[in-house]
Structure 1
Amino acid sequence: MASIVERVPPSVAGRVLRGLFTLPEPVKRLIAGAPVRRDGQELALDAQLLLLMTRLEGQRLGGSTAEEARRGLARAKVYLPKVPARPVATRNVDADGVPARLYTPKGLADGSPLLVFYHGGGWVIGDLDTHDTVCRYLAVHAEVRVLSVDYRLAPEHPYPAAADDALTAYGYAVARARELGADPSAIAVGGDSAGGNLAAVVGRFAERTPDFALLFYPVTDISVRRRSRELFAAGFYLTDEDMTWFSDHYCPLDRRAEPKASPLLAGDLRGFPATYLVTAGFDPLRDEGEEFARRLAEAGVRVALRRQEDLIHGFANMWSLGGRFREALSEAAGALRTGLYAGPGR
């Protein structure tokens, strides 16, 4: 039976949630409770308040079935419908058999850089719509076109289907960049969580190396569990249990050490594109993302590692709440713009 909260229309619940974030800081602190501190970090008040509301909602990212988990994320996306003020045109694209959506900000000149983006969701949930506002934000604030890729999901299409689709769509973008209105010498890959994993796979295995990589709290190694999986196992949106559920749906145990599943385990990362990699302090995936950044640096790759130490997994999707969420995404958009517009080819 649905809970009382689940019976509330998502649009109504969303208005309540957004209203809470307009309250004065002392009132928000009173609602959220005492500050949360762990591993020498203090959770942002904005994140703490959001976590309180998600607990009331009673949803988790993983579910008893893939269909249930997808319905939960579809409900959550209605909470945060805000888009940038600058209009963004969209059109559907067939990227050599992989569905995709092209975002073009109003007034953006032909020959702009292009970001090929892969949505998060543990390779099981998520789609073009769940990450629509993130793509719009990056398109507007980085002054780029964005090609968002609707790769196949597990368990219907287990590993390596998502990785193969990611490489196919990127290859299409490289071959058809001018048709997409983009500069073929300024093509980035990016993604969040499982999408960050796919972007890293493309950065390592694509025939034509991307010009930049934008990785939000990426999954880089599903073969082992690191310390942050223990520290932030529960209570911070993405849980250790969720990650186990996603990994079990996506990839069999005997293939998890393959670099296309765990790019951190690739023997040679030389030649990987210049990278902005951002982690969240209160995230089970924090340590593997930061270890990947260290491996890139050791391989001679230009990499900027940024830990948003007071935030949680998924903060990019929460930007419309403002505050620290928007600040963090704005910083990433700035890094993308700088990396593409000031890159070697430009």
Structure 2
Amino acid sequence: MTSLVERAEEWAAYRILRAPDLVLRHSTVRRPIAVDGQRLEPRTQHALAVLARGGRPPLDQMMVVDARIEYERMPRVFEDPPLPLPRVEDGSIPGPGGRLPIRIYGPRAGNQVLPVLVYFHGGGGVIGSIDTHDGLCRILAREADCLVVSVGYRLGPEHPFPAAPEDALVAFRWALRHATELHGDPRRIAVGGDSMGGCLAAVVCQLARDAGRERPCAQWLLYPGLDRSTTTRSMELFADGFMLTASMLNWFMDHYLGGADPRDPRASPALHPRLDDLPPTVLVTAGFDPLRDEGHAYADALAGAGVEVRRRCHDGLIHGFAQMTGVVGVARRALVDAAAELRAIFGAT
């Protein structure tokens, strides 16, 4: 339970993060940050400065249970109040290790049949939930004009790899079987996610293709982690100071993989020997993100294999920007733009 002190800290941060532009120009963003020919977006720079002054330890210096609690706090600070939607339903579905929580979002009243996005939240496979990504999924449902089925898959270290990709595949197949009763179109079921969730979405597409069974009609990948076997230039450039750090990545992988081979394509889908015959892809990266370069490399590889790829790179933003939409206007516009790309694919399917 959040204490009164923590609530007061959240309220103070909430107000400071929404300071007028004039205040920012005379405080935290007097000296712009530029790296690799990119300039950090001013409100993002302000948010990072506020976090740095907050005195809280980084997630990788916490116990897992405390990191999860801290991550659950973030939407209350960085996002606006939840976007009202005509349909928001909680439920659960059977999974390989027990029932999995889901939340269904619908942008329209009534029983009109809509395309479906099965969504996997980020958090390195260790933290995160359907609650941490509630605001993001609400925006996606409205802007992509689709049903969103947000899935609470199993997390490490309690449920080490490959529990998460197993759950993700089961969730996609459940959506296929139950699309009609959800008032969804079984011919237009996509998968998507941010960060680790983007990895899981990519894995589901590969596993479905390899099994010769029904496949997603699209994959929506938001700053995904796709190759845990190597160190890229962006990992070195943005190893510290931009929300997601190199030490956090190592912490996540240690708890998620549990000693498994990081080169397994279910952990690093970029290493799958076949990247052809995959669905149309929306792949979004952030300029100040350690995962930027592997996202670019995967987009290039998919395009080279003949896959339709709609790519966007937002040079001034950081990893996790889609959960900062209440304080960074550019981040909200970037999320809306990515949702519009998915909507276009649904319209062409």
Q: TM-score range by the shorter chain?
A: over 0.9
Match of 1:176 among 175, 178, 188: 178
For the residues of structure 1 that align with 2:94 and 2:279, how far apart are their CA atoms? 22
SS at match of 2:171: helix
Amino acid in structure 1 at the alignment position of 2:42: L
- How far did residue 307 of structure 1 move? 0.7
Q: How does 1:45-84 map onto structure 2 within 5 Å? A: 45-57=42-54, 58-79=56-77, 80-84=79-83
Amino acid in structure 1 at the alignment position of 2:204: V
Aligned residue in 1 for 2:89: 90
Aligned residue in 2 for 1:210: 216
CA separation of 1:204 and 1:24: change in aligned 2, threshold 3 A: same
Aligned residue in 2 for 1:16: 12
For the residues of structure 2 that align with 1:267 and 1:43, how far apart are their CA atoms? 36
For the residues of structure 1 that align with 2:90 and 2:3, how far apart are their CA atoms? 34
- How far did residue 18 of structure 1 move? 3.8
Structure 1 runs not aligned, ≥5 long:
1-5
Aligned residue in 2 for 1:320: 326
- How far did residue 12 of structure 1 move? 3.7
- How far did residue 59 of structure 1 move? 3.9
CA separation of 1:38 and 1:147: change in aligned 2, threshold 3 A: same
SS at match of 1:169: helix
SS at match of 1:125: coil
CA separation of 1:22 and 1:254: change in aligned 2, threshold 3 A: closer
Amino acid in structure 2 at the alignment position of 1:155: P
Amino acid in structure 1 at the alignment position of 2:265: P
Contact 1:112–1:183 (8 Å) recurs in 2? yes
- How far did residue 65 of structure 1 move? 1.9
TM-score of the pair, normalised by structure 2: 0.92
Instruction: Give identity over the alignment, percent.
Output: 42
More off after superposition, 248-257 vs 228-237: 248-257
- How far did residue 15 of structure 1 move? 3.7
- How far did residue 143 of structure 1 move? 1.1
For the residues of structure 2 that align with 1:35 and 1:7, how far apart are their CA atoms? 36
Contact 1:20–1:28 (8 Å) recurs in 2? no
SS at match of 1:320: coil
For the residues of structure 2 that align with 1:161 and 1:254, how far apart are their CA atoms? 12
CA deviations over 1:152-196 (Å, ceiling 9, x no partner)? 000001100001000010110011111111000111101000111
- How far did residue 117 of structure 1 move? 0.2
Contact 1:83–1:137 (8 Å) recurs in 2? no
- How far did residue 29 of structure 1 move? 2.2
Structure 2 runs not aligned, ≥5 long:
none
Aligned residue in 1 for 2:135: 133
- How far did residue 251 of structure 1 move? 1.2
Aligned residue in 1 for 2:188: 186
Contact 1:277–1:305 (8 Å) recurs in 2? yes
Whether 1:288 aligns to 2:294 is yes
CA separation of 1:59 and 1:161: change in aligned 2, threshold 3 A: same
Match of 1:26 among 22, 27, 35: 22
Aligned residue in 2 for 1:35: 32
For the residues of structure 1 that align with 2:305 and 2:66, how far apart are their CA atoms? 41
SS at match of 2:27: helix
Contact 1:237–1:312 (8 Å) recurs in 2? yes
Contact 1:228–1:284 (8 Å) recurs in 2? yes
Match of 1:273 among 276, 279, 289: 279
Q: How does 1:113-262 map onto structure 2 within 5 Å? A: 113-206=115-208, 207-252=213-258, 255-262=261-268
Contact 1:128–1:149 (8 Å) recurs in 2? yes
For the residues of structure 1 that align with 2:4 and 2:245, how far apart are their CA atoms? 25
CA separation of 1:118 and 1:254: change in aligned 2, threshold 3 A: closer
For the residues of structure 2 that align with 1:283 and 1:92, how far apart are their CA atoms? 34
Amino acid in structure 2 at the alignment position of 1:50: A
SS at match of 2:46: helix
- How far did residue 16 of structure 1 move? 3.3
- How far did residue 32 of structure 1 move? 1.4
CA deviations over 1:4-33 (Å, ceiling 9, x no partner)? xx9764544444334335433232122213
Amino acid in structure 2 at the alignment position of 1:63: Q
For the residues of structure 1 that align with 2:22 and 2:110, how far apart are their CA atoms? 41
SS at match of 2:216: coil
More off after superposition, 72-81 vs 242-251: 72-81
Contact 2:282–2:311 (8 Å) recurs in 1? yes
CA deviations over 1:215-265 (Å, ceiling 9, x no partner)? 010010111111111100000000000000001111155511111110000
CA separation of 1:271 and 1:10: change in aligned 2, threshold 3 A: farther
- How far did residue 203 of structure 1 move? 1.3
CA separation of 1:125 and 1:25: change in aligned 2, threshold 3 A: same
TM-score of the pair, normalised by structure 1: 0.93
CA separation of 1:28 and 1:87: change in aligned 2, threshold 3 A: farther
